[in-house]
Amino acid sequence: MVLLTPSICALMKLLRMCEQYAETHGLRYNATKSELLIFKAGNKTYSNIPPVNLNGTPLQLVTQFKYLGHWVTDTLSDDTDIERERRALAVRCNMLARRFARCTKQVKIMLFKAYCQSMYTCSLWTNYTQKVYRALRVQYNNAFRVMLGLPRFCSASGMFAEARTDSFETIVRKRIFSLRRRVRGSDNMYLSALTERVDCPIVVHWMKVLIMPNSGAYEK
């Protein structure tokens, strides 16, 4: 569970409500597994942060935490989560290449599609550096080359087209389009209203990727 508030005071009020609810229903929150993260507003920092307690135990202040498999940081940068995906992709590819080296080309392509194209939460990436994003794209291309035993410097677009397999950019666009469609069709008034705001950073990023995929929307 995540509590989002605009201030420390508001967070303390929500925590008291949670404690009261838990006590009424015979439950108890695990304070040792709970963490506190304060999002930064530009270069603004807080030098004096009052202690925030849960069941009398102070919450540990962190700069990042993993929520549903996605890394969230105090600067709202996606570099950490992109690096998580890159490392996971490298591990999966190496495992597949070793265990299925004797399989046919079609089997290897099927395995690659099943285990190397998830790109979990890539549709949420909007704030990242070009270096980290490029590293993931290169890892994806090299993973396919290793799986099929292709030359290191062969054309990426050519090998994906020949194998009828989505490239990295195609996967990202498909994930973004799918999430955007589901958000716009949601019954939740806040989610549906989100897609109508032209100044929303994530909506602006989505449109750049979907409408102008080669305009440098990935480089930030």
Task: Please tell me whether residues 176 and 151 are part of one structural domain.
Answer: yes
Q: What is the pLDDT of residue 212?
A: 66
pLDDT digits (tens, 9 = 90+) for 63-90: 999 999 899 999 999 999 999 999 999 9
Mean pLDDT of the chain: 89
Could you tell me which residue, 99 or 42, shows the higher pLDDT? Answer: 99
In a domain? residue 74: no
Q: How far is CA 39 from the centre of its chain?
A: 17
pLDDT for residue 42 is more than 80: no
Handedness of CA 124, 126, 127, 131 (dihedral sign): positive
pLDDT for res 48: 81
Whether residue 41 sits in one domain with residue 88: no
Q: Are residues 48 and 91 in the same domain?
A: no
pLDDT of residue 218: 41
Query: What domain range includes position 36?
Result: 8-62
**pLDDT the model gives residue 215:** 47
Question: Which one, of 148, 153, 188, lies nearest residue 164 by Cα?
Answer: 148
d(CA 170, CA 176): 10
pLDDT attached to residue 216: 44
C-alpha span between 159 and 112 (Å, rounded): 13
Q: Are residues 57 and 91 in the same domain?
A: no
Query: For the segment 144-202, what is each residue's pLDDT rounded down to a tens digit?
Result: 999 999 998 899 999 999 999 999 999 999 999 999 888 888 888 888 787 777 788 88
How far is residue 105's CA from residue 95's CA, in Å, rounded to a whole number?
A: 16
**What torsion do the CA atoms of 17, 22, 25, 26 make, to the nearest 10 degrees?**
-150
Any domain includes 72: no
Residue 218 in any domain: the answer is: no
pLDDT tens for 105-139 read: 999 999 999 999 989 899 999 999 999 999 999 99
Q: How confident is the model at residue 220 (pLDDT cuts 50, 70, 90)?
A: very low
Is the predicted pLDDT of residue 214 greater than 50, yes or no?
Answer: yes
Separation CA 116–CA 86 (nearest Å): 10
Do 50 and 145 have their domain in common?
Answer: no
Number of domains, the chain: 2
